[in-house]
Amino acid sequence: MVNLTLSLSACICVVAAAEPSPPIWPETFHALAVQNRNGSLALVDLYYEWKNGRNANLIHKQLGTTLYDIEYNNKTSYYFDRELGTCKQIDFPVGILTPDWLANATYLGTDSVDTYDTHVWTKSEGFIKYWADVKTGLPVRWRFFDGAQFEIMTFKEGETLPDEEWQAPEYCFTKDLGARADVPMQPLAAA
Ligand SMILES: *[C@@H]1O[C@H](CO)[C@@H](O)[C@H](O)[C@H]1NC(C)=O
Ligand SMILES: *[C@@H]1O[C@H](CO)[C@@H](O)[C@H](O)[C@H]1NC(C)=O
Ligand SMILES: *[C@@H]1O[C@H](CO)[C@@H](O)[C@H](O)[C@H]1NC(C)=O
């Protein structure tokens, strides 16, 4: 009886110790990712600035133009393509991710992806799955519920994007966008 109790608690200790805590994002970083949405590929520069309350995705589409997705913590986002002259303002119900957004994620164990040994977490009933390098804690891959997958190629803490790159172009404001959500803007005429 004593032996059984001892071995049971030893077993619980081992299981508890084996579960790593989820990574916490640095307050500022630049990551370069390969995005695959059902075979539609893009290189994405992700800039995260928690202190400034903003987040940028520069989506360089394969053999295509660059779509800017600039998100602010005040729940406003701008999608624009300087080359195509398009702009769209979107109101999101949530702001940008907190550095500890992975807290409370469900640990799924280890996995070998992209030649890295990783810890895997999932959050919000499978909304996102997140693979982090066992050795460094850096993200290797994340995947959304709809299959959109991102392989993280570089991750540089402290690196940022110049202010002028965050600024949505003037035509986002001079055209009649109003405050309405999800109003697609017409491409500007060449003039
Ligand atoms: C949110 O912040 C951005 C950048 O400062 C600004 O352009 C936008 O108008 C703000 N939106 C709201 C709803 O305050
Ligand atoms: C994690 O759970 C705790 C307790 O329910 C909660 O206070 C906290 O806000 C959660 N954090 C995140 C990032 O979800
Ligand atoms: C991929 O295609 C499936 C099936 O058409 C669709 O349900 C899913 O939303 C698509 N995912 C992305 C990221 O476009």
**Per-residue model confidence as pLDDT tens digits over 33-67:** 999 999 999 999 999 999 999 999 999 999 999 99
Any idea what DSSP says for residue 89? E
The CB of 39 under 6 Å from ligand 3? The reply is no
Tell me the CA–centroid distance for residue 44 and ligand 3, in Å: 19
The pTM of this model reads 0.83
Q: How far apart are CA 89 and CA 172, in angstroms?
A: 8
Write down the pLDDT at residue 60. Answer: 98
Listed by start position, the domains of the chain span 28-100+152-180
**Sequence-ordered list of residues with C-beta below 8 angstroms from that of 171, at least 6 positions apart, any chain:** 85, 87, 185, 188
The CB of 3 under 6 Å from ligand 3? The reply is no
Q: What are 104-159's pLDDT values in tens digits?
A: 999 999 999 999 999 999 998 899 999 999 999 999 999 999 999 999 999 999 99
Tell me the CA–centroid distance for residue 40 and ligand 3, in Å: 11
